Amino acid sequence: MDPQIANKLGTSLLLVPSVHELAKQPMTIVPERYIHPNQDPPSVEFATSHQVPVIDLNKLLSEDENELEKFDLACKEWGFFQLINHGINPSTLEKVKISVEEFFSLPMKEKKKFWQNQGDLEGYGQNFVVSEEQKLEWADLFYIFTLPSYVRNPHLFPCIPQPFREAVESYSLELEKLCMTIIKLMAKTLKIKPNELLELFEDVSQAMRMNCYPPCPQPEHVIGLNPHSDAGALTILLQVNDTEGLEIRKDGMWVPIKPFSNAFVINIGDILEILTNGIYRSIEHRATINSEKQRISIATFHGPQMNKIIGPTPSLVTPDRPALFKRIGVADYYKGYFSRELNGKSYLDVVRIQNA
């Protein structure tokens, strides 16, 4: 690529353009680096008869037995659910949605101030670009560590323009509370003492990943986000503009999730699968692209502090259900998860006890 064009598109050292800028160029054929051949199509037929469970938080909190059972089954069988009546102030949601949309539509000159340093997770840019040959995803992202507040990057967080920073701060605190409420409810449905899980989540660690998926003239040949499971304990996803794109793996099929306005899509990550000794499941998911509309999502990841050690919760290990996973430090889990040698393999399989 011509370095001048690269510069205009906002590339890093590895010549990775901003997809948002690339998608503004007149184009009918997508550059080869973005073409992902042989993708499994979604199973629309399955999705019309089976939808990810919709859970009402109000009912859960008022101890509605049916809803608690539905919630337990969602965590066991789907690893995903949509949460309604979650009690988060609609104006907090509106503010964060508007700010994120405005951020992605800022001129490149402004967004470039946040461009990721090579190898960094945080900042504005792309998902792990490590080589010139690597296939790229059709998405830009903005990733920040939000909680505990002392982990905030002093070169990044304070530079986020107002009122975006303020919107992120109040949204982050509301989601931290929601995460703790859900973990407590999980302890109840798993019939364990709340503290067995909660003590790991004191001073919860939280990061936000804002994803921007521009429209693409060849949507079936590109991928917004490759299939993956989330590393942390609980992900709370807000879909900003009610555009479809998230698909989850269910019984070997890709099932699209229909967005509901202001509902959260919540999923269990690898660390919670380990803590629940495999009872609650961390499920693979991906983001697809459409040809007309830009899609924006905000994934907020929650997990125990980096210095904690995780393993199956002792009361969930029984003679009938021996420990499925080894104990491991949280920081080591993330290190393994993000290591470049996995080649698509899940790090959960690396910590799984063979023949358990």
Ligand X SMILES: O=C(O)CCC(=O)C(=O)O
Question: Which residues contribute to the site for ligand X (CB under 6 A)?
Answer: 209, 211, 225, 230, 237, 245-246, 285, 287, 297, 299
Contacted by 238, from Fe ion, ligand X, none: CB < 5 to 8 Å by type: none
Closer CB to ligand X, residue 99 or residue 211? 211
Tokens of 243: 């555009």
- Which CB sits closer to Fe ion, 283 or 310? 283
Q: Which is nearer to Fe ion, 297 or 313 (CB)?
A: 297
Which residues within the stretch 317-346 sit at the binding site for Fe ion (CB under 5 A)? Answer: none
Give whichever of 187 and 330 is closer to ligand X, judged by the CB atom. Answer: 330
Q: Binding string, 206-235, against Fe ion, x = CB under 5 A?
A: ------------------------x-----
CB of 318 to ligand X, least distance (A): 32
Residue 287 binding partner per list ligand X, Fe ion, none, with a CB distance cut-off of 5 to 8 Å that depends on partner kind: ligand X
Q: Which of 213, 212, 214 is nearest to 27 (CA)?
A: 214
Nearest to 281, CA basis, from 289, 271, 290: 271
Q: Which is nearer to ligand X, 213 or 277 (CB)?
A: 213
Q: How many helices (H) and strands (E) does the chain have?
A: 12, 14
Q: Which residues partner with 221 through β-bridges?
A: none
Shortest spacing between CB 228 and Fe ion, in angstroms: 6
SS3 347: helix
SS (H, E, C) 290-306: CCCCCEEEEEEEEECCC
Site size for Fe ion (CB under 5 A):
1
Contact 54, 80 (CB under 8 A): no
d(CA 204, CA 221): 38
209 binds, among Fe ion, ligand X, none (CB under 5 to 8 A by kind): ligand X
Q: Hey, what's the torsion of the CAs at 240, 242, 243, 248, to 10 degrees?
A: 90
Contact present, 218 and 142 (Cβ < 8 Å): no
Whether 311 and 326 have beta carbons less than 8 Å apart is answered as yes
Residue 354: CB atoms within 10 A of its CB come to 5
Distance CA 76, CA 73 (A): 5
Task: Return the amino acid letter for 353.
Answer: I
Separation CA 312–CA 322 (nearest Å): 9
Q: If contact means CB under 5 to 8 A according to the sort of partner, which of ligand X, Fe ion, none does residue 176 touch? A: none
246 binds, among Fe ion, ligand X, none (CB under 5 to 8 A by kind): ligand X
Q: Which does 302 bind (CB under 5 to 8 A by kind): Fe ion, ligand X, none?
A: none
- Which of 67, 230 has the CB closer to Fe ion? 230
The answer to whether 233 and 203 are in contact (CB under 8 A) is no
Q: How far is the CB of 296 from ligand X (least distance, A)?
A: 8
Closest approach, Cβ 281 to ligand X, in A, equals 15
**With CB cut-offs between 5 and 8 Å by kind, which of Fe ion, ligand X, none does residue 273 bind?**
none
Determine, following the binding rule CB under 5 A, whether residue 273 of this chain makes contact with Fe ion: no
Question: Residue 54's beta-bridge partner residues?
Answer: 82
- Closest CB to Fe ion among residues 189, 267: 267
Residue, CB closest to Fe ion: 230
Residue ranges binding Fe ion (CB under 5 A): 230
